[in-house]
């Protein structure tokens, strides 16, 4: 659960000119003693001027030699007057102890921050940085309230593990957790002291599984106790641990711990990121606490934050998407730290507020808060003629129907995904998906004017299935003047059901900021699978779907009449036209 490195953006070179740069000394494998006697190890980068400086800490399970300088360049930070500590988390690479994801991050984060504050040359003020898992280690350290932690800057990380990390509305985040779990197992083998013969067998087996995720491994059952993770010998990694141990979910959950956090934060999020909604929810939680919090949301996917390409999926969002409001990510970090850790004067960038990239317009825009108070909740109704209407349906219509076969699921194509490369992320042409007979497609008339949707999107459907359990997947798309349909947001809901009874279901599609342009059309897909991003509901009563191994085909119906007004609820933002709203 981390972003891949990329070359440095050319913007960064421009913003580094004219600043004083220190020479840097590096210490490798510095011992960090914890209160329970475990020794973690860190590399320390320090300005070689003999003066006191603030300390910036990153705690990572991916190896302290693995730089993420496309998001935050630690060498530039050290040259700009910061001591930078990059530490292997417990049980990983150079650090001692047992590796259990999330299990020790609060206590170890506390001890590490207090150790960092006492380093030679430290001014006693500590900040943190990092994305994904390294964002979670920041939130967990902040929950533990180390006295010398002053601020955090987490990027693309979650809030509630049951809403994007391990699960989404009851379905397993299978694509991400299988891919990630195998990768972490692979990296851990040299740490566990296996005999060479067994070590090579494990490497060979895991490499084979990683290489064959799309064709074989994702399809293995049961999804909740995945055979590939069992073969890897790492049942305590990722979703498997969360399924078997409720404490694992609590250890990675920030949503219920906002009241314990006392430090200002700057949060980076991506509209196409697998942890998008969690990042937004963390901002909302901090603002509710009255703490200074900034939120920056770009068009990024999980692996494109800070990269040197504006391409996400099938869309080029333009060079401006690389640097929010013209400032590269490293400079945004350092400007934030310069105030909180060095005492430099505050600017507007140190006040609470939001900077969002509005897709479609492909422009950055400042907002005072999130969600936008001026957004108007506007229903968009499904109609019996496979259409979409801003007006309620007034007549009775025949429900739309399809069959959902778990042995032939709708394959993941685009969206907020983090999985093997066979399944693209971000906005992707939906032609192949929409050509299937198990995907219902509802399309609006061409728009007379631009429509901006900025905020959280939800769907209310009236549905029926002939089995005891099934899934409902809804996707909102933008159809351009050439008929190309690109996904914008989607969501899933796993439900128990009374066979053939009509039920109202509410599906969270997460959030976006997207302008549907004049002449474009809105499109809604309704189906029952998005595999392997989410595991397949087997439509059986064999326990929970995550433990099932038997399948049945489900007969699905969507109702869209005066009595059953299936619709999406869109946060529509009024647009200015010639100075008028």
Radius of gyration of the chain (CA): 24
- Is 511 among the catalytic positions? no
Q: How many helices (H) and strands (E) does the chain have?
A: 12, 25
- Cβ(279)–Cβ(164) below 8 Å: no
Q: Write the CB contacts of 341 (distance below 8 Å, at least 6 apart in sequence).
A: 54, 56, 82, 123, 125, 126, 127, 150, 151
- Cβ(423)–Cβ(487) below 8 Å: no
Distance in angstroms (rounded) separating the CA atoms of residues 290 and 472: 37
Which residue out of 69, 236, 273, 331 is catalytically annotated? 273
Q: What is the DSSP letter of 535?
A: P
- Is 132 among the catalytic positions? yes
Q: Which of 198, 210, 109, 202 minimizes the C-alpha distance to 152?
A: 109
- Cβ(566)–Cβ(399) below 8 Å: no
Which residue out of 3, 132, 444, 528 is catalytically annotated? 132
Distance in angstroms (rounded) separating the CA atoms of residues 345 and 35: 37
- Is 369 among the catalytic positions? no
Residue with tokens 């100075």: 579
- Cβ(142)–Cβ(57) below 8 Å: no
Q: Token pair for residue 248?
A: 């694992």
Q: Specify the 3-state DSSP secondary structure of 342.
A: helix
Distance in angstroms (rounded) separating the CA atoms of residues 358 and 363: 5
Q: Specify the 3-state DSSP secondary structure of 141.
A: helix
Distance in angstroms (rounded) separating the CA atoms of residues 189 and 202: 8
Q: Specify the 3-state DSSP secondary structure of 81.
A: coil
Which residue out of 226, 302, 520, 564 is catalytically annotated? 302
Q: Which of 458, 443, 453, 468 minimizes the C-alpha distance to 522?
A: 443
- Cβ(108)–Cβ(100) below 8 Å: no
Residues assigned a catalytic role: 132, 273, 302
């Amino acid at each position: 659960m981390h972003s891949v490195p990329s070359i440095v953006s050319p913007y960064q070179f421009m913003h580094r000119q004219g600043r004083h740069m220190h020479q840097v000394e590096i210490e490798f494998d510095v011992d960090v003693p914890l209160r329970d006697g475990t020794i973690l190890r860190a590399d320390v980068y320090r300005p070689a001027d003999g003066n006191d400086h603030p300390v910036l800490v990153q705690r990572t399970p991916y190896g302290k030699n693995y730089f993420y300088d496309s998001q935050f360049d630690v060498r530039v930070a050290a040259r700009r007057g910061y001591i930078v500590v990059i530490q292997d988390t417990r049980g990983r690479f150079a650090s001692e102890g047992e590796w259990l994801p999330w299990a020790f991050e609060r206590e170890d984060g506390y001890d590490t921050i207090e150790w960092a504050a006492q380093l030679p040359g430290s001014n006693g003020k500590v900040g943190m940085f990092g994305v994904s898992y390294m964002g979670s280690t920041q939130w967990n350290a902040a929950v533990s309230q180390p006295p010398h932690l002053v601020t955090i800057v987490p990027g693309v990380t979650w809030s509630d593990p049951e809403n994007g990390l391990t699960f989404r509305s009851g379905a397993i985040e299978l694509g991400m957790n299988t891919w990630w779990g195998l990768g972490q197992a692979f990296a851990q083998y040299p740490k566990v002291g296996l005999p060479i013969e067994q070590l090579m067998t494990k490497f060979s087996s895991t490499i084979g599984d990683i290489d064959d995720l799309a064709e074989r491994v994702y399809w293995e059952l049961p999804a909740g106790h995945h055979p590939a993770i069992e073969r890897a010998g790492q049942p305590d990694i990722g979703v498997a641990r969360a399924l078997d141990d409720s404490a694992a979910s609590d250890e990675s959950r920030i949503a219920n711990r906002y009241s314990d956090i006392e430090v200002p934060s700057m949060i980076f999020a991506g509209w196409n990121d697998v942890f998008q909604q969690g990042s937004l929810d963390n901002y909302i939680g901090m603002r509710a606490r009255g703490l200074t919090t900034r939120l920056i949301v770009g068009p990024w996917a999980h692996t494109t934050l800070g990269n040197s390409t504006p391409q996400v999926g099938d869309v080029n969002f333009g060079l401006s998407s690389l640097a929010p409001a013209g400032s590269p990510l490293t400079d945004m970090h350092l400007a934030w730290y310069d105030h909180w850790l060095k005492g430099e004067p505050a600017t507007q960038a140190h006040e609470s507020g939001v900077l969002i990239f509005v897709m479609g317009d492909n422009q950055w825009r400042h907002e005072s808060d999130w969600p936008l108070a001026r957004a108007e909740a506007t229903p968009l109704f499904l109609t019996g003629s496979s259409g979409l209407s801003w007006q309620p349906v007034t007549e009775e219509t025949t429900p739309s129907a399809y069959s959902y076969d778990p042995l032939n699921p709708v394959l993941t194509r685009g969206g907020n995904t983090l999985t093997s490369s066979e399944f693209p992320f971000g906005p992707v042409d939906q032609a192949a998906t929409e050509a299937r007979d198990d995907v219902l497609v509802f399309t609006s008339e061409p728009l007379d004017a631009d429509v901006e949707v900025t905020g959280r999107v939800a769907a209310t459907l009236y549905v029926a299935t002939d089995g005891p359990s099934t899934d409902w997947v809804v996707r909102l798309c933008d159809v351009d003047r050439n008929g190309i349909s690109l996904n914008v947001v989607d969501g899933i809901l796993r439900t128990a059901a009374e066979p053939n009874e009509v039920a109202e279901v509410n599906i969270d599609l997460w959030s976006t900021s997207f302008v549907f342009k004049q002449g474009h059309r809105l499109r809604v897909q309704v189906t029952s699978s998005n595999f392997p991003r989410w595991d397949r509901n087997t439509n059986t009563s064999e326990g929970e779907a995550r433990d099932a191994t038997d399948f049945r085909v489900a007969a699905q119906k969507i109702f869209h009449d005066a009595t059953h007004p299936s619709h999406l609820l869109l946060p529509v933002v009024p647009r200015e036209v010639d100075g008028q709203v």
